[in-house]
Amino acid sequence: MNISVIADHSTVTGFRLAGVNKGFEAEDGKDALPILKELFKDKEAGLIIITEKLYEELDEEIKRLTEKRVTPMIVAIPDSKGFFDERIDPIRALVKKAVGIEIKY
Amino acid sequence: MAEKLESVNPTRMELLKLKTKVKLAEKGHNLLKEKRDALIMEFFEIVEEAKGARKNAENKLKEAYRALTIAQATMGSLRVAEASLAVKPSTSLQIKSKNIMGIQVPVLDITVEKRSLLERGYSIRDTSAQVDEAARLFEEAIGLIAVQAEVEMTIRLLVDEIEKTKRRVNALENIVLPRLDATVKYIKMRLDEMERENFFKLKRIKALMDEG
């Protein structure tokens, strides 16, 4: 299985340096969506690293794509332009779903 | 009061059958409740882990981006991009699965070769040392990102299972069990009623016979 990265130019460059050969440059969700769909058809895709910015833009699509399947796994990382201060925390929503109440941790 | 089950005959046989059903349902209910509680406990443990994994990955990435930016500043981003295209692929990924309380959870087995700068594939004559630094940090970051991905996926799967279990517990508690109880009660009342009727019938016959 392989690792792919969908991110802006600089981030992709960084991951290429580390030897990730499947780097896709995408500036916004419109660019990234076809790539993402293609990756989800690929049986060899194991892990998709995507920037949080793109992840947020494509939230709905990603939810639909990842439903009922384990691979490829998708993980959001902050991009090279910096870190959001108030970031989407995917875990918090899940905690609420599991326990029924919102818990600050 | 819950509805009783449709089309049951108020017979003793049926009552016995129902009683075993109730017992079974209660047993299942208890088991599922225990499962739910255990899953939630597991869940909180893993949430703790997830927080750590996320932090680790982010910190390492921060360093890596910094190194990359410095490399881009000293060499020009075009040249860095050029060098990056020359890097030989090194990462391989294997996904196995492990079992947490009946849920198949993926385990990422990622190997990022720790390579020396000569093995990476770009020419060291055209690149500065910052590129090596950035490459090294990104290699390390990938491993941490994989851990993060694994933990987050585990959480997702756990949540799905918790929801499923919760729904089952609630269904048993609020629908199946009350319905069975109501049916048991109904049959018992019918049987009692029949017995009284019979008793009265016998009395009446006896009275008639005594008269005649």
Q: What is the pLDDT of residues A67-88, one digit of tens each?
A: 777 778 888 888 777 665 555 5
Nearest residue in chain A measured CA to CA from B139: A18
Within 10 A of B3 (CB to CB), how many other CB atoms are there?
A: 10
Q: Return the residue matching tokens 């930016």.
A: B69
Domain ranges of chain A: 2-99
Strands B103-112 and A22-25, how do they pair? unpaired
Single-letter amino acid code for the residue at B149 = A
What pLDDT is attached to residue B192? 94
Contacts of A56 (CB under 8 A, 6+ apart): A88
**pLDDT tens digits, residue range B125-152?**
777 788 888 888 888 888 888 888 888 8
- ipTM field: 0.83
What pLDDT is attached to residue A101? 67
Contacts of B22 (CB under 8 A, 6+ apart): B177, B180, B181, B184
The CA-based dihedral angle spanning residues A30, A31, A35, A40, taken in that order and rounded to the nearest 10 degrees = -20
Fill in the DSSP letter of residue A79: B
* Six token digits for residue B25: 């349902």
Q: How many whole angstroms separate alpha carbon B118 and alpha carbon B113?
A: 13
Task: Indicate whether A95 pLDDT > 80.
Answer: no
Choice between A50 and B119, residue whose per-residue pLDDT is larger: A50
- CATH T-level assignment (fold) for domain A2-99: Rossmann fold (3.40.50)
Q: Cβ of A105 under 8 Å from any chain B Cβ?
A: yes
Q: Which of A2, A25, A23 is nearest to A73 (CA)?
A: A2
Task: Judge contact between A81 and A8, C-beta under 8 A.
Answer: yes
Whether A77 sits inside 8 A of B106 (CB atoms) is: no
Whether A90 sits inside 8 A of B152 (CB atoms) is: yes
Within 10 A of B59 (CB to CB), how many other CB atoms are there?
A: 12
Environment class of residue B79 by beta-carbon count within 10 Å: exposed (0-12), middle (13-18) or buried (19+)? middle
What confidence tier does A104 reach under pLDDT thresholds 50, 70, 90? low
Q: How many whole angstroms separate alpha carbon A77 and alpha carbon B103?
A: 26
Q: How many whole angstroms separate alpha carbon A59 and alpha carbon B165?
A: 27
Contacts of B117 (CB under 8 A, 6+ apart): B124, B132, B135
Q: What is the edge-to-edge ordering of all strands in the sheet holding A22-25?
A: A22-25, A2-7, A45-51, A73-77
| Chain A contact set for B145 (CB, 8 A) | 47, 49, 75, 77
What pLDDT is attached to residue A105? 52
Domain ranges of chain B: 12-206
Whether A17 sits inside 8 A of B83 (CB atoms) is: yes
Q: How many whole angstroms separate alpha carbon A86 and alpha carbon B52?
A: 18
Task: Indicate whether B212 pLDDT > 80.
Answer: no
CATH of domain B12-206: 1.10.287.3240
Q: How many whole angstroms separate alpha carbon B159 and alpha carbon B39?
A: 9
What pLDDT is attached to residue B188? 93
Whether B95 sits inside 8 A of A71 (CB atoms) is: yes
